[in-house]
Amino acid sequence: MKYTLAVLVENKPGVLTHISSLISRRAFIIESLTAGYTEETDMTRITMVVEAGDEYELQQVVNQLSKLIDVIKIIDLTGQDRIHRELALIKVKATPADRAEIVNIVEIFRAHIVDVNKETMIIELTGEESKIDAMCELLKDYGIKEIVRTGRVAISRAPISAKEM
């Protein structure tokens, strides 16, 4: 099963090395990991999607990560009422003949075209992973040249912040 963790860490050099080293040393399976600044300048927030067989395995991931000195807090968002999103940039082949159809798809998915040239288009799409997967599936027919995805970011819908949980 997949679990979504919000990991609050000190915004210090070496933190990501410590985290990635731990993940590989303990043979944890991480589906995606994104990091970025937060509402506090000295804190970074990592959203991690972890593949774990059961609760015990997940607990190991949480407990081992918690041992890292620079990890301030870990919140399991999996069971919670939450919103999660991913952003994808997709470069798709767009011959003049195909363009209208692609624009159609883009509109259906509420995506944006952020760049166009003679041969290709770049489409920006934000949404849950399944939505991005679905759009990529459709665009395949036209020829996808490149996909970049950020990995999942997640936030709980509760009226408090993760660090207060």
Q: Can you give the binding site for another protein, defined by CB under 8 A?
A: 9-10, 13-14, 17-18, 21-22, 25, 56, 59-60, 63-64, 66-73
- Give 31's contacts (C-beta < 8 A, 6+ positions apart): 2, 49, 50, 51
**Contact criterion met (CB below 8 Å) for 9 and 46:** yes
If the CB atoms of residues 67 and 118 are measured against another protein, the closer one turns out to be: 67
Instruction: Provide φ and ψ at 127, rounded to 5°.
Output: 170, -170
Give CA–CA dist 64/19, Å, rounded. 10
If the CB atoms of residues 71 and 88 are measured against another protein, the closer one turns out to be: 71
If the CB atoms of residues 26 and 112 are measured against another protein, the closer one turns out to be: 26
If the CB atoms of residues 22 and 136 are measured against another protein, the closer one turns out to be: 22
Amino acid at position 21, single letter: S
CB of 65: closest distance to another protein in angstroms?
9
CB of 153: closest distance to another protein in angstroms?
21
CB of 39: closest distance to another protein in angstroms?
15
Give CA–CA dist 10/31, Å, rounded. 22
